[in-house]
Amino acid sequence: MPEQPRIFLASRNAKKLREMERILAPLVPGVQVLGLDDVADYDEPVEDAPTFEGNALIKARAGVAATGLPSLADDSGICVDALNGMPGVLSARWSGPPKSDQRNNELLLAQLSDVPDERRGGHFACAVALCLPGGAEHVVEGRMDGRVIRETRGSGGFGYDVLFVADGHQRTTAELSVEEKDAISHRGKAMARMAPLVAAALSPGRSSSPAAR
């Protein structure tokens, strides 16, 4: 039997790993997406780049160096117009350590409490980087426009999904089915662009080091 295609995603977020696997599956049947908890420990780099693309590359480069596997990393966040594009690359750490979706959402709501509905626009941005053992690198981007509402709604997704309603929709991205979200989300759009590159990297004849435990 052919070896199961495997790729490393520099994340411990189980929902993000499954999301990535789900998006890749149509083009890479049987793909296994390994996360940080599936490989030997290594020193994770500081995400100190000023852009989503830069942070994604930092993580993907560290991943391929540590595992020898084709490595994906994404950096994403919410950019709110009334906050001059913030939280942006600071989205996951907006309320300070330790990381907490609930505290991040509470802080964002508090910061926008006096902002009228017509000025609560913003977008989610995502950059996905793929670094290959041979040194090749690819970066793609995706974007989802919408608005921040005044209360949390829904139990799906993660991060700020409970506060965000995409343009053309009435439900938050946390209230959408995974199929609906994948079709419109910033990460779904970026991964749709990245999937053919991953498929080519994992095609027969390309070797990857079995670094997973």
Known binding residue 11? Answer is yes
Known binding residue 74? Answer is no
> How does DSSP classify residue 170?
S
Contacts of 32 (CB under 8 A, 6+ apart): 4, 5, 6, 7, 21
Contact call for residues 162 and 154 (beta carbons, < 8 A): yes
Known binding residue 76? Answer is yes
3-state secondary structure of 104: helix
Known binding residue 12? Answer is yes
Catalytic pick among 37, 41, 74, 75: 75
Q: Give the pair of three-digit tokens for residue 108.
A: 């964002």
Known binding residue 6? Answer is no
The distance from CA 7 to its chain's CA centroid, rounded to whole angstroms, is 15
Known binding residue 48? Answer is no
Sheet harboring 32-34: ordered strands across? 32-34, 6-9, 71-80, 121-131, 137-148, 164-166
Known binding residue 159? Answer is yes
For the question of residue 75 being annotated catalytic, the response is yes
Known binding residue 37? Answer is no
Residues that are catalytic: 75
Detail the residues annotated as belonging to a binding site. 11-16, 75-76, 158-161, 181, 186-187
Query: Residues marked as binding for substrate?
Result: 11-16, 76, 158-161, 181, 186-187
Residues at the binding site for Mg(2+) are 75
